[in-house]
Structure formats: C-alpha cells, structure tokens
Structure 1
Amino acid sequence: MIAYVMVGTNDLESAVKFYDRLMPKMNMVRVETDKDFAAYAPKSKPENIEFYVTKPFDGNRANSGNGTMIALAVETSQIVDDCHKAGIDAGGKDEGAPGFRPAHGEIYYAYVRDLDGNKLCFVHEKEF
C-alpha cells in the first residue's frame, strides 16, 4: 500500500547527518541528494527509494503532526535497539525505550523523534 515515506525538515544538512547514522542500521543507504531532499533505499535495491527527508515544497516551515508517527518494521529486536541508539546518538529525542509493550503482546518497539520532531517507531514482530 505505501510507495514511500517522506518527512519534512527545516535543516536538510542536519537531517541528512541524522538519517545517515540511522538508516544503515536498517540496511538502507542514501542514494540521492539534492538541494531540497535526500533519498534512501534498501542497500540490496538502490533503485527502490523508500524514504525521503525533504524541505517542504511550498516553502513554509516543516512541522511534525500531533498524532503522526511512522512505524518502520525491522527484522530483529537487536535492530530495534540499534536504531533507537543511533537515533539518540545522532541528536534525536527518546520517545520510548526499546521493549515489549504489555498491551501489544510479542511485538518489540522503540520510539525516537528526529531533529525536526518527526516521530519514528522501530518495530519487530516475531512473525515478521
């Protein structure tokens, strides 16, 4: 259903530094950079861009949505831990330490906000 994800930024240079530290933990690499955006794709399929960080097209300030979150599925709980740590180490804000959430059974989560306040969830389900 989802073709790609796009998050806004007011400081592309800083956002690229943040995502360049985070994306490799999920086997994603930056495949394109321009004055207004950076694009990331799976290392194994660099032609399939899945994630963009961009300055808003309309020229207004980027802002995060209240109640908006992007959940990124990963293959192991260790990758959840690694993504959370990379996000914090890159200057992001901790929004929930890695671990199981009692209300959601065997699903392992961690939450981080990027430098512009976009909320990211890293999630591993045993069935995944």
Structure 2
Amino acid sequence: MILKSLRLGTNDLEKAREFYDATFATLGVAPCQSTPEWPIVMWDVDGLKFLLGPARDGQPATHANGGTIIFEAPDADTVRAWHAAGIAHGGSCEGQPEEKPQARGAFGAYMRDPDGNKLGMYAGLKMG
C-alpha cells in the first residue's frame, strides 16, 4: 500500500496557504492547487496530496501531541531556506537548522506551522 494523501487540520485556510506556499516553494513544489471556494488547501508533494482543512466535526482543529511530519531535503541550504520561510510566514521554531545528534548527525530543523502542527526537515538522514 502506498500513502496517497495526508491531511492536517487548520483554523485559517489563508494563513495555512501562505505558510505552506512559502515553505514548499523552497522545495520546488508548485503553489496551492485549491481555489478560494474549496473548503481545503492542497499541494502535490512528489505524488502525495498534502491537504489542510477545518475539522469535519465543526470543532476547532488541534495539532497532534507527539506527532511530527518530516520532509526530506536535498541539502543543508534547503533546510535553512525552508526553516527561514516558515518562520517568516507565521511558523514558530522548534529546533534551529543544525546537525542533529539524535539523527546520526544529519542536518535538520523543526518548526510548527501557524496551527501548531510540528514539522521537520532533514538532509542526509539515513533510515534503517
């Protein structure tokens, strides 16, 4: 089975669109594909549909405690650019771009999006 989509909650579609358009642009991902009348925002990230929208039950969207979505970067400069773009567009720092001992020295960074979802990006991370 292959993962086809990933959806996170947001309480502000326009703020989410601005944040992810800026951070995904550092990876060469095209801007948001959704039109303003759609109830979600969506990007195609290497064949994975990455979506954000309000909670379906009508309650405020909240972030996962302990959950982190990690993206792969081609190099440390991309990690730095991604982190800087996110911070400049409403994100908050959860770990500066640097070598991470917990990831066997791979270069990475962490931040939270405007809704509190935790994101990470690594260059040179070897799994397994």
| 8 A contact 1:40–1:52 mirrored in 2 | yes
Corresponding letter in the other structure for 2:114: L
Separation (CA, whole Å) in 1 of partners of 2:124 and 2:3: 19
Q: Which string of whole-angstrom CA distances, capped at 9 and with x for unpartnered residues, describes residues 4-35 of structure 1?
A: 22111001111111111111111112222343
1:32 aligns with 2:34: yes
Q: Distance in 1 between matches of 2:102 and 2:22?
A: 31
For residues 12 and 99 of structure 1, do their structure 2 counterparts lie closer, same or farther at Cα, with a shift above 3 Å needed? same
Report if aligned partners of 2:3, 2:48 keep a CA contact under 8 Å in 1.
Answer: no
Q: Encode CA deviations 1:48-90: one digit per residue, 9 max, x unaligned.
A: 3531111122221100011011001121111111100000000
Amino acid at match of 2:89: A
1:98 is matched with 97
Q: 1:80 is paired with a residue of what secondary structure?
A: helix
In the alignment, what sits opposite 1:56?
A: 55
Identity %: 31
**How many residue pairs were aligned?**
124
What is the CA–CA distance in structure 1 between the aligned matches of 2:25 and 2:121, rounded to whole Å?
13
Change (3 A) 1:38 1:105: same
Aligned residue number for residue 21 of structure 1: 22
Mapping of residues 102-117 of structure 1, within 5 Å: 102-117=101-116
Do structure 1's residue 5 and structure 2's residue 6 form an aligned pair?
A: yes
Gaps of 5+ in 1: none
CA distance 1:57–1:26, shift in 2 (3 Å)? same
**TM-score, normalized by length of structure 2?**
0.86
Q: Give unmatched runs, 5+ long, in structure 2.
A: none
The 1-side partners of 2:76 and 2:113 are apart by: 20
